[in-house]
Structure 1
């Protein structure tokens, strides 16, 4: 194991933040898996999972079972970790710019398209190496002007050549679920099985430039550019990336974290990154993948005290009551408003606050029929 401190751009006199990464196995080893936690810095379950996963990887390395390479970034957002306001963590948006820490990553396919276009042909292995080299060179040449962009650059430098990228997040209150691009689902399906995901949400592209999709999107977008240009090139989907939502913000326990770390190690064994002496049968996937475009965000048209009648992970039919919004200042039946589902599916996430404003979000249902378009991710 090798621990590295990566200094970020200093935004002000006397201020310097550092990103820490751990590398297991030689830098040239394949497959390469990149795992990071808490890019939204108040989402802490992944940080504890990284703690337990690090111990498992150290043991595998000591036992000579590490065949590939793993890069682990346990605290991916030192900027957000330092942000607090009125005694509350503020780790989702940078306070200086109001930018989401998991949006606005550079379009890597667009960045290297003109560079790689003349150099790719029918050799898939050579093509992948050329694209990775070009992306690495582009990132090395990028000179960020802000601390936030220097963080984005460093995370991409560590992950751009990975075969699999796992970005550990969580929701407010939630069942364990994951998001991914459709092109990545086949290699990620075993991960969903091992984790026991209760919902899987897939999209061709979610929009907004999130970290994980810039890495996997690079490959299918470049392939689409070549097809549109009428050029015959063999370019595989050389990176599968996913955002894994490890339940809710308060689900920070050794029990959960140990389960998830063991599942991640088992996935690395499945990939051939870590040698296993006995092949293990994959468990059954607890859910059926659904389109992200079919996810309904439940909202309340009225303000009041929010009382949930359903829990994350529960299957809901159309018209079922998920929650009641109570207005204790009203009279008659208007005191109680029922928030009902408009699509059938799993209630995979709910808000943490128990007071909701008019138009405020209540929860999310994983519906099976697409009905949304455009940017599919929330703020």
Structure 2
């Protein structure tokens, strides 16, 4: 294992763990891009130990890069007595949005050889990143993370939700190829979107490939980067035994894909993939306390009562499911205001109002 440090700002460094031989296939895994989402950090710590052992035994067949804490800026934002790691406090920007568009590469010499096209595109991406001059710590962080990940075949961005079952966000062009990854985390929802809005990290890595394929129909351009956002569970669910299990499952993913020598293999995935446009965000229209009537994992029918928002000085407002599906996420703080998302339901049929910005900011 080699450890690298990259300066983001005075006193802030990004630590990177590198395993295996470079120059061939590559996997990149990071956690803590939202610095207050903790389970993935522990998972990558456990995975790093397993990879070090595998490397010592000569079992690594690819370069594997781990960034267990991908947001040194967010880790410093503790002024309120809590770690505030989803948004950069100076700008208010979400740490997982606004990544550079690596599909804008100018003229490219592409043809019928898919492998040659992949090499050409990755080289052009590298030149585009090298030409950028990011200003400020936040842009330098985004730039550095893309530099580390842009040439990877596999990119896994580990997150967690407030209260949630494991779930995964991935592009339709990458499904069902990503089924082993979803099974590894025991996903209870698989949410598919080509463009979810805001250019999050995973789409900044995978999206350019299908954008370039559409722009160059005369060339053979495969989806050469399988990038996905893995929601490992609830934000506060930091459990060493669970992290060990999830690390072992991710190692089996790497084995199954031939990046690490080993048996691989995953259990059967227990859910179907559904469009992100079909995911209902349960939003409160009023201010008040939230009393949930459903548990995580409940199967709901359209119209079912999910929660009641209670004004301690006034009325009660019922919030009902606008679609049938699985309640896979709730908010951990039982207080709402107009527009606040307090639940997510994985439905099967796209909702007419779900356009453009499909993620919860």
TM-score (normalised: structure 2): 0.96
| Aligned residue number for residue 5 of structure 2 | 5
1:27 CA displacement: 1.4
Partners of 2:285 and 2:80 in 1: CA distance: 28
Stretches of structure 1 that go unaligned for 5 or more consecutive residues are none
| Aligned residue number for residue 281 of structure 2 | 297
Contact 2:43-2:246 at 8 Å conserved across structures: yes
The match for 1:178 among 151, 168, 174 is 168
Instruction: Indicate the SS of the match to 1:250.
Output: coil
Instruction: Give per-residue Cα distances to partners, 1:242-280, cap 9 Å, x unaligned.
Output: 00011111111112211211110010011000111x464
Instruction: Indicate the SS of the match to 1:88.
Output: coil
| Aligned residue number for residue 129 of structure 2 | 139
Instruction: Give per-residue Cα distances to partners, 1:22-64, cap 9 Å, x unaligned.
Output: 111111132x110000100111111011111111111111111
Partners of 1:306 and 1:279 in 2: CA distance: 43
Partners of 1:50 and 1:368 in 2: CA distance: 32
1:189 CA displacement: 0.8
User: For the structure 1 residues 115 and 18, does the alpha-carbon distance in structure 2 shift closer, same or farther, using more than 3 Å as the test?
Assistant: farther
1:259 maps to 2:245: yes
Instruction: Indicate the SS of the match to 1:130.
Output: helix
Partners of 2:348 and 2:301 in 1: CA distance: 12
1:233 CA displacement: 0.7
Instruction: Indicate the SS of the match to 1:109.
Output: coil
The match for 2:330 among 350, 353, 357 is 350
Partners of 2:264 and 2:196 in 1: CA distance: 35
Aligned residues: 359
Partners of 1:212 and 1:285 in 2: CA distance: 22
Instruction: Give per-residue Cα distances to partners, 1:50-97, cap 9 Å, x unaligned.
Output: 111111111111111111111000100001111123212111111111
Whose helix proportion is higher, 1 or 2? 1
1:69 maps to 2:49: no
Stretches of structure 2 that go unaligned for 5 or more consecutive residues are none
Give the alignment's Cα RMSD to 1 decimal.
Answer: 1.3
| Aligned residue number for residue 17 of structure 2 | 22
Give the greater-gyration-radius structure (CA): 1
Contact 1:115-1:134 at 8 Å conserved across structures: no
1:234 CA displacement: 1.1
Instruction: Indicate the SS of the match to 2:94.
Output: coil
1:244 maps to 2:230: yes
Matches within 5 A, 1:91-130: 91-110=85-104, 112=105, 114-116=106-108, 119-130=109-120
